[in-house]
Chain A
Amino acid sequence: MIGPRVRRRIGSALMTGVVVTLCILAVLPLLFIFGDLVAKGASSIDWHFFTRSPVPAGETGGGVANAIVGTGVIVGLACLVGLPIGIGAGVFLAEYGSGRLGWLVRFVADVMNGTPSIVIGIFVWTWLVKPLGHFSAMAGGFALAALMIPMIARTTEEMVRLVPHSLREAALALGYPRWRTSLTVVVRTALTGIVTGCLVGIARVAGETAPLLFTALGNLNFSTNVLQPMQALPLQIYVYATGPFDEWHRLAWAAALVLMGLVLTLAILARWATRQRYGAR
């Protein structure tokens, strides 16, 4: 005969086991995905993979040089537009964001963080592709910027908020005007954190495909003209993965490994930087 107390103990132990199992199950796909990426992608990565453009369908060989450069250009454009607006909005939220406008901006940023990126693609298409009459890397950059802004605004705000109030007070007491206090003391102190947030944001948009589908479009040739269609790694992976050729699938895995490596490097770099700065927190 099992008493109620023992039964409750057993029930509790059982549920703990269930929770642990669920947690393991949640992490498992990550290990599989990384394992498969390395297993299927690593063997195809060589010098040519990084230095050559794609060859016509059906032939073997070729690389993704155009896509790597394209991703660099498009993400660079996105930073040019997105970082100033995102950081500015973030500093506003931290410095002046206690009122109603602050609440609204914060709320909109959080809501926009979850909007489907494909919708941003449509929006940029109506503004930059349709009027100009052709797809372009510039449009792709703007689409990624629009995705980046809410993310960066929120992380910047958090980082600026971590700056102790006494620093600000000290600067104001020394006679610094508010704008100089904010820029040279508060933002300066939070700079590592802000850079970290930006890195995370960049890592995030560098892997986006959906908003580029009908903005940057993709390009099989090497191109650095921002007013013309341009290839990007995620677009190339999409085309190769859904294509019919084994050779394409092989390249898709290799390109995915490269993209993953890029994104992870940025993400881990960001994490490492925060650890350095705020590790004691």
Chain B
Amino acid sequence: MTADVVRATTAGAPELLPGAPRDSLLLRNRADAVYRWTLTALALALPLLLVTILLELTLGAGPSLERFGWKFLVTSVWDPVAEVYGAAPMIFGTLASSFLALLIAVPLALGVAIFLTEFAPRWMRQPVAFLVELLAAIPSVVYGLWGIFVLIPFLRNVVVPPLRAALGWTPFFEGVFYGNSMLAGGVILAIMIVPYIAAVSREVLLAVPGAQREAALGLGATRWEAVWTAVLPYGRAGVIGAVMLGLGRALGETMAVTMVIGNRHDISLSLLEPGFTMAAAIANEFSEATTDLYLSALFEVGLILFVVTVVVNALARLLVWRVARGAAVGSKAL
């Protein structure tokens, strides 16, 4: 009896298919292997793409890297005629506009996430979440169009006059407001990144165990206190990750910003003055770049932008994964 079992397990498997040629199992294993390796090859396209992009950008940026070195990052002269390039204004502009966008978007997005997970009646959650996600479905160029013809006039007539009256003495609201400005860029970016931050923070808050809430409520906390003292601290890493994802989006956003920020190579503290961002510079000047060095400078701008966004995104993912492990967080945003 025991011997039979042993024979069955050692040599038995092929015998299970009477009449089948001995190598059919081999063939089937080969088919499985082919399937597996085909899928693996397709999947490898992703890391390969990332590495190739990085490589091409570095190669393209070579001449500029060699010529300007670190000075590229800190000098402000951008003169295609004299062949001198310094990216400080656009680096500053990218950071400033993204920071402004976060300042506006984070409270809004957290408001959405907290409302939807903690306070909203059940029937309201799906529809409101859908509306917020629709914001992510609007193409960037449509935001730009709306920014030019609706947002800028609105800022000029309604928002800027009281801001200047109250804060005109600070360096941030100096100068004349013509429309295309850092302020317009920041506001349009804020609207655009709200859905990303909201969707990811919402999933993070949903991943906070119910016991966390119940414990706080059981100790006599009000509902807001439960959110503030028990739910948010638990999901802190994930929420920070969500904000960083929003930051990554804001840093790389191109069209809408190009259309409203003014595209001027200057550093100005005033939000009312025009600015520039790295992505906008590439969009505006790439097809006009006539000399190799000019092109190379734009490649370097692209390289900086790419590396910075990849690092920001990578950190963000790791933070989000810590809370909502392995889930494709945020992919439900359209």
Q: Are B44 and A111 in contact (CB under 8 A)?
A: no
The answer to whether residues A23 and B252 also contact, given A29-B191, A111-B50 and a CB cut-off of 8 A, is no
- The answer to whether A115 and B35 touch (CB under 8 A), given A127-B56, A210-B255, is no
CA distance A200 to B191 in the complex (A): 21
Complex alpha-carbon distance, A109 and B311, angstroms = 14
B13 to chain A, nearest CB (A): 12
| Contact B111–A19 (Cβ < 8 Å) | yes
Instruction: Tell me how far the C-beta of B48 lies from the nearest C-beta in chain A, rounded to whole angstroms.
Output: 9
A-B CB contact pairs (8 Å), 22 listed: A12-B222, A23-B116, A26-B109, A27-B131, A89-B43, A96-B40, A113-B331, A116-B309, A117-B254, A118-B254, A123-B53, A154-B331, A179-B32, A210-B140, A213-B283, A234-B139, A234-B140, A237-B142, A238-B259, A252-B145, A256-B141, A260-B142
Residues of B whose CB lies within 8 Å of any CB of A are: 28, 31-32, 34-36, 38-40, 42-47, 49-50, 52-53, 56-57, 60, 107-112, 114-116, 119, 128, 130-132, 134-135, 137-146, 148-150, 191, 194, 198, 222-225, 228, 245, 248-249, 251-255, 259, 279, 282-283, 286-287, 298-299, 302, 305-306, 309-310, 312-314, 316-317, 328, 331, 334
> Which residues on the B side are within 8 Å of A260 (C-beta)?
138-139, 142
A119 touches B302 (CB 8 A): yes
Contact A256 B49 (CB under 8 A): no
User: Complex: how many Å from CA A33 to CA B56?
Assistant: 38
Residues of B with C-beta under 8 A to A226? none
In the complex, chain B residues whose CB is within 8 Å of the CB of A146? 49
Chain A residues with CB under 8 A of B302: 118-119, 122
How far apart are A121's CB and chain B's nearest CB, in angstroms? 8
Q: Do B35 and A178 touch (CB < 8 A)?
A: yes
Cα separation A108 to B50 with both chains bound (whole Å): 8
**A interface vs B, CB < 8 Å?**
8-9, 11-12, 15-16, 18-23, 25-27, 29-30, 32-33, 36-37, 40, 84-85, 88-89, 91-93, 95-97, 101, 104-105, 107-123, 125-127, 146, 149-151, 153-155, 157-158, 177-179, 182-183, 200, 203-204, 206-210, 213-214, 217, 234, 237-238, 241-242, 249, 252-253, 256, 259-260, 263-264, 267, 271
Given A111-B310, A119-B57, A119-B302, do A264 and B46 touch, yes or no (CB 8 Å)? Answer: no
Whether A93 contacts B34 in the complex (CB less than 8 A), given A22-B108, A119-B53, comes out as no
- Smallest beta-carbon distance A117→chain B, Å: 7
- The residue that B334 contacts in the complex, of A12, A121, A149, A200, with Cβ under 8 A, is A200
**Chain A-chain B contacts (Cβ-Cβ < 8 Å), number:** 276
A36 is contacted by which of B115, B146, B331 (Cβ under 8 Å)?
B146
B111 close to A116 (CB less than 8 A): no
With A27-B132, A179-B34, A238-B141 known to touch, is A114 a contact of B42 (CB < 8 Å)? Answer: no
Residues in B neighbouring A177, C-beta threshold 8 A? 28, 31-32
B residues within 8 A CB of A15?
Answer: 224, 228
B39 and A95 contact, CB distance less than 8 A: yes
Asked if A110 and B313 sit within 8 Å, CB to CB, the answer is yes
Given contacts A36-B150, A101-B40, 14 further A-B pairs with CB under 8 A are A15-B224, A19-B119, A27-B131, A32-B150, A89-B42, A108-B50, A114-B245, A117-B254, A121-B282, A127-B56, A213-B286, A234-B141, A259-B141, A260-B139
Could you tell me the distance between the alpha carbons of A190 and B35 in the complex, rounded to whole angstroms? 18
The reply to whether A123 and B140 contact each other, CB–CB distance below 8 Å, is no
Q: Please, which residues of chain B bring their CB within 8 A of the CB of A26?
A: 108-109, 111-112, 132, 135, 194, 198
The listed residue (B38, B46, B298) touching A108 by CB distance below 8 A is B46
List the B side residues contacting A8 at CB < 8 Å: 222, 225
Q: Is the CB of A18 within 8 A of B35?
A: no
Are A20 and B119 in contact (CB-based, < 8 A)? yes
Chain B residues near A253 (CB-CB < 8 A): 145, 149
Report the minimal beta-carbon distance from A160 to chain B, rounded to whole angstroms. Answer: 11
A-B complex: 8 closest residue pairs judged by Cβ atoms? A22-B111, A207-B139, A116-B252, A88-B42, A179-B35, A12-B222, A92-B39, A12-B224
Nearest chain B CB to A66 CB, angstrom units? 17
Residues of B within 8 Å of A84, CB to CB, are 42
